Amino acid sequence: MSESARISTQCPDNSQITNKLCLMLNGCDYASLSIAPKIKTGVPSCPCQINLKLSWPETKVGQYAFPAPFCIKPDGCCLISLCENENVPFWPPVTETCEILNDSSITKNLSNVEQAEDKLFQMCELSKDYDQFTVLDIYTTVVLFITVDNKTDLESAFCLINNILNIDSSILMEAQLKVRTTELWLFAIANLIVSTVVAKNLLLEENFGFLEINQTYMDGVTVQRARERLVLTAIPLDQAFDDVLRTENLVSGFWFNHNDKNDFGKYVAYFNGSYFPDSSKNVRGFFGVLNVKSCEIFTFRLILRFNEATVNQSVSCVVWLENDDQFSWIEFGEFEISENFFVCTFKLCDHRNLIVVNSQIIHFGMMMTPPGDLTDNLINIIGANISNIQRVTKLLHESFRYKEFISVDVYLVAVILKKLTTDNTTNLDSLCLIVSNLLHIEKSVLAESQFDYNATNSILDSLDKIIQNHNFDDEFISTSELFAILVVNLTNFSGLVLLDNHTVEILKDSSNASILTKYENLTSALLFSPKLQNQMDNESKIIVNIFFNDALFNEVKKNLKYSVNEIFEVILPKIDGNYSGPISIFQRKRQTFCSYWVYDNLNHSFWKNESKSVNFSTLVRCDFWHTTHFTQLIMDKDIEDDDEFLEWMTNITCSLSLLGYSCIILTAFVCDFWRQKSSTKILLNFVVSGILQIVAFYVSSNVGEEKFVCTFVGAVLHYSVLAQFCWMLNIAILQFRRFVLIFTSHSKHLVLKTCLFGWGFPAIPVGVSLVVDAENYTSNSTGLCYPSGYFLYLGLWFPVLFIMTINFFVFSYVVYTVFNSNDDHIEASIYKWRLVIFLFFMLGLTWIFGFLAEASAGILFAYLFCLLASSQGFVVFIIFIVVNKNVRNFYLRKLFGNT
């Protein structure tokens, strides 16, 4: 209901200023009232009296009187009483109940202000004691303020308005509920500014500010912090909204874009919400726009910087409107987040609520409510029937709660981002902030989410698709704390430099690496070789994503300790053939490994070391001949040394094993009696499987990225490992029969049976892997072509562990049986220990150290595994050739004759 609709047509005249206030309270037109002359002697009147503790003034017959102090009825109106005339004037008895409004030391002084010439100044001075104000004083003040005809003393007026805002919010709330005083204050402020010629275009108080600007030259207003105070500043004409957000020390602001700029020009900013006492809502960022006269498609944007206290709040855009005869905050407008600000966009003539333009003043704000459960909110974003623009805004808002994320929340973010992969209008500034917030999540949470749901790999994949699907008409750069997106034209780009404060500087004219040495605060750089640039169309767009930590890059098993600098992802247009030149990254660090990220949809992800970096002046350089996520891994110094030593040790022991296996085959070739034995034939098959594994191992580590070759070599390596373990199981069964069962009959076709199992069974898991998904053979973090994902676990690890478990029990039982024999001679003891060593190597139990090393049990187990498992062939040679008396004598006779 409008102000005019509340005006009563039966307003009694009265001479008391308090009566005048109560008339206002009852909806009477204060402008038509005047102070009546005092009652003359002899005029029939009701005398002064006290009735029910209420003081009634002397009043003419037929007139209404009001008690002093005010007494408010339950309907919010003042209690009144009629001076009746039945021959003798008298007061009728008071039967209505009411609540007396308490007065204060201020009340009497306010009643004297009505007669003063400088009313505004007097009220300003009295309002400085705002901590003593009661509901009656607040109401008396606003009515006195409204009745001031000439409000030229604007400084005193603004002083009064500001001081009222300092009154305790609970008292202001009480005043609004009982006598609707804050509504009157907003009405009074609007009338003051709209109807008064303001000499100054800026008036600023502690809690309140007013700015009048020439709309021909201005586009809005900002609130900025200057030391301990807030100041209002006009926004220059046609200043881009993004530029407004970059205003130094910006706290809040109000920006608009419309056709007829002469319609606007007066702004009110409230630095607290005391004039908007809606107890159920926490609203901030109050702005009032005055003198809205017409209804066109106007777009207003309310800006509010968020902080740690507000960033996790649920935000709604609101307008202060009348609803069911009461003013309150009504949700209206669209909410988004841009950089470090909440932004509400209001279209005044939106068909949903045309009432907005019917007031002289429109007040806007942002309503904050406590956030709901993070997981529930993310689920709602997935299922909500909303546009992708709204989905991104809601996700961005929730992403600021990164400290609360658990693994399932990361997975839900991955699902939301996957929904956006087909949209080419995603707000990439918001996406940049979302990724930056995700990079703040605890590393352990992200790792768990990757292990359980493949979530972080999915996020990386969706991120690529969203950016590549976007429509880029121009170059685009968006940077945040931990992530940056750059989309640049090839003609304007030869590389980039990252500085200490995450500042990105584009290199346009030179790809000469020597230019990098001039940057003292360089952390990383990326350069394109001229040859590679020449392969691409000059109109091509290059996408570079920069991750400032590796939180989203989670290896299934991270056995090595290393640190990661900035991670670059480069996306280039399709190039026919191989790259003619590399993409190089430079970092001001010590020797590192040049690595790139390998991941798929099977929770298979790792950093693959491509090469070692090379020194370049004060920098180190890595060259990449492909595009993906790549970086330089800085290994822990001890681990880097260990890695080199383990590689050296593996090369030596594998060479010795190949030599040993070769000698065994040579012996079988020259020694007929030894070759004819069934045990020798089984041993020779085991030797062939060992040679095949070593050869496949070295070939696999040097294959490169050719898919077909990697698949073929990976399958051979997979087969050779399983074959060797199958032959180890064959040997375990034979040793069990020999030392435990003892008196069993000789098995027919023993060699044929062992060959069928030793060479036939490994073909089953390898064949299944090739048929179901041949591409699962990928180059892993060690550079080997190997099965990945479920094929690695079920097709390799499971059978190997199963065979090792059987072999371990066989080993234990045989050793137990042999050592419990009664033969304690020295020769027998030597034989027993020689048997232990033989079985330990032949049954593959040295691989236990490999699994312990894989489980990060310590570097010692890595050394033991490389030393013992890789030297298996050499140990077998010692046991079967050197220690075997018959074979040894055979060689002695061959070398020295029968003597």
How does pLDDT run across 585-602, given as a tens digit for each residue? 888 766 567 788 877 655
What's the chain's length in residues?
A: 899
Q: What per-residue confidence (pLDDT) applies to 352?
A: 41
The pLDDT value recorded for residue 708 is 79
For 667-680, what is each residue's pLDDT tens digit?
Answer: 888 888 887 888 88
Residue with tokens 């009338």: 191
Enter the pTM of the model: 0.60
Across the range 444-456, mean pLDDT stands at 90
Residue 74: cis peptide before it, omega within 30 degrees of 0: no
Whether pLDDT at 639 is above 50:
no
**Residue 37: left if φ>0, alpha if ψ -120 to 50, beta else—which one?**
beta
Contact call for residues 22 and 135 (beta carbons, < 8 A)? no
Structure confidence by residue, pLDDT tens digits, 473-496: 788 888 888 999 998 887 778 888
Give the pLDDT score at 446. Answer: 93
pLDDT at 723 over 90: yes
Q: Measure CA of the first residue to CA of the last residue in the chain; give whole Å.
A: 129
Q: Are 49 and 11 in contact (CB under 8 A)?
A: no
Q: Average the pLDDT over 380-397 and give the result.
A: 89
Instruction: Give the model's pLDDT for residue 856.
Output: 64
Backbone angles phi, psi at 75, to 5 degrees: -80, 5
Neighbours of 91 (CB within 10 A): 17
pLDDT band for position 761 (cuts 50, 70, 90): very high
In this prediction, residues 819-824 reach a mean pLDDT of: 71
Per-residue pLDDT of 214-232, as tens digits, reads: 555 567 788 888 877 788 8
Contacts of residue 458, Cβ cutoff 8 Å, sequence gap at least 6? 414, 417, 418, 601
SS3 per residue for 687-720: HHHHHHHHHHHHHHCCCCCCHHHHHHHHHHHHHH
Q: How far apart are CA 311 and CA 82, in angstroms?
A: 58
Taking residues 601-627, report their average pLDDT: 71
Tell me what pLDDT residue 189 has: 85
Is a pLDDT exceeding 50 seen at residue 197? yes
- Alpha-carbon span 301 to 253, nearest angstrom: 8
Q: Kind and range of the H or E element at 251? A: strand 250-257
Residue 498 scores a pLDDT above 80: yes
- ω before 69 within 30° of 0 (cis)? yes
- Write down the pLDDT at residue 323: 67
pLDDT digit string, tens, across residues 825-845: 777 777 778 888 888 888 888
- CA–CA separation, 624 and 595 (whole Å): 9
Question: Cα separation of 128 and 118, whole Å?
Answer: 16
Helices of type H across 424-529:
428-438, 443-453, 455-469
pLDDT at residue number 133: 93
Question: Is residue 728 a contact partner of residue 734, using CB atoms and an 8 Å limit?
Answer: no
* Range of lowest pLDDT (126-130, 140-144, 419-423): 140-144
Highest mean pLDDT among 204-213, 709-718, 772-781: 709-718
Mean pLDDT confidence for 523-545: 82
H helical segments located in 154-299: 154-164, 169-179, 181-195, 241-245
Q: Is the pLDDT reported for residue 165 higher than 60?
A: yes
What pLDDT shows up at residue 417? 95
Residue 28 is predicted with a pLDDT of 39
The CB density around residue 720, as the number of other CB atoms within 10 Å, is 22
Q: Could you give the CA distance from residue 774 to residue 787 in angstroms, rounded to a whole number?
A: 9
Calculate mean pLDDT across residues 250-273.
Answer: 71
User: In the predicted model, what is the mean pLDDT of residues 607-630?
Assistant: 73
> Average per-residue pLDDT in the chain?
78
Residues 6 or more apart whose CB falls under 8 angstroms from that of 442 comprise 405
pLDDT of amino acid 484 = 92
Q: Is the pLDDT of residue 807 over 50?
A: yes
Q: Which residue has the tokens 């030593």?
A: 645
181 closest CA partner among 142, 148, 146:
142
Of the listed ranges 58-62, 87-91, 116-120, 583-587, the one predicted with least confidence: 87-91
653-659: average pLDDT: 89
Highest mean pLDDT among 218-232, 385-399, 745-759: 385-399
Can you tell me whether residue 741 is helix, strand or coil?
A: helix
pLDDT tens, 677-714? 888 888 899 899 999 988 988 888 777 556 778 888 88
Least confident range from 317-326, 412-421, 652-661: namely 317-326
- In tens, the pLDDT along 842-897 reads 888 888 888 787 766 667 888 888 888 888 888 888 888 888 788 778 877 777 76
563 neighbors 632 (Cβ within 8 angstroms): no
In 3D, which of 33, 32, 35, 31 has the Cα closest to residue 15?
35
The string of DSSP letters for 88-100 reads EEEPPPP----EE
Round to whole Å and give the CA distance between 389 and 66.
Answer: 59
